[in-house]
């Protein structure tokens, strides 16, 4: 085999290698869920730690910066607002887990990436969850506050005509 044949063989091998790399890169872009996040139900922080934290009030408070009665109260008030529909393609993230992600983000100030790795979720998923849950909490607290304040103010009026 002479020099020209070796160069041609190396060029062909390199071209094949480049095609394979491009194919792998494109395949990675087309993934619906990253392979690390596919183990969310088995290895995600919520599914491994939450049940244990519910049995230890002190640890629950340290983790979420609130007791579980407060957690349950918030969840009961916003659960319907943050619940997502089931689809043929995947199961939605349940409201309790969505609230846990948001509270953990607010309690620690960690980045979406850190929270995403811990809970085995996509970073943009964490971002959307935090935004939606915060909006639901804000809406719930402001509408109820407005209603209570408005109702109290009605008591200050004399309705004699």
150 with 118, same domain? Answer: yes
Q: Is residue 36 in a domain? A: no
Q: Which two tokens stand for residue 26?
A: 């494109």
138 with 116, same domain? Answer: yes
11 with 48, same domain? Answer: no
Cα–Cα distance for residue pair 116/112, rounded to 1 Å: 6
Whether 1 has a pLDDT exceeding 50, the answer reads yes
Q: Is residue 160 in a domain? A: no
72 with 149, same domain? Answer: yes
Entry pTM:
0.71
Q: Is residue 117 in a domain? A: yes
- What digits encode the pLDDT tens for the residues 27-83? 555 556 788 877 788 888 898 999 999 999 999 999 999 999 999 999 999 999 999
Pure H helices in the chain: 3-29, 40-43, 45-54, 57-64, 68-82, 95-108, 112-119, 123-154
Q: Is residue 159 in a domain? A: no
Instruction: Quickly tell me which residue has 């935004």 as its tokens.
Output: 131
Provide the pLDDT confidence category of residue 143 given band limits of 50, 70 and 90.
confident
């Amino acid at each position: 085999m002479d020099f020209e044949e070796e160069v041609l063989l190396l060029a062909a091998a390199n071209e094949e290698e480049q095609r394979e790399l491009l194919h792998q890169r494109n395949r990675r872009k087309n993934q619906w869920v990253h392979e690390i996040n596919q183990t969310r139900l088995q290895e995600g922080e919520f599914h491994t730690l939450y049940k244990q934290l519910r049995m230890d009030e002190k640890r629950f408070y340290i983790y979420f910066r609130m007791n579980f009665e407060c957690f349950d109260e918030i969840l009961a008030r916003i659960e319907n607002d943050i619940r997502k529909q089931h689809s043929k393609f995947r199961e939605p993230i349940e409201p309790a887990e969505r609230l846990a992600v948001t509270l953990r983000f607010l309690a620690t100030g960690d980045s979406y990436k850190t929270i995403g790795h811990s809970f085995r979720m996509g970073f943009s998923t964490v971002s959307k969850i935090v935004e939606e849950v915060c909006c639901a909490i804000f809406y719930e607290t402001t509408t109820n506050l407005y209603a209570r304040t408005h109702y109290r103010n009605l008591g200050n009026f004399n309705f004699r005509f």
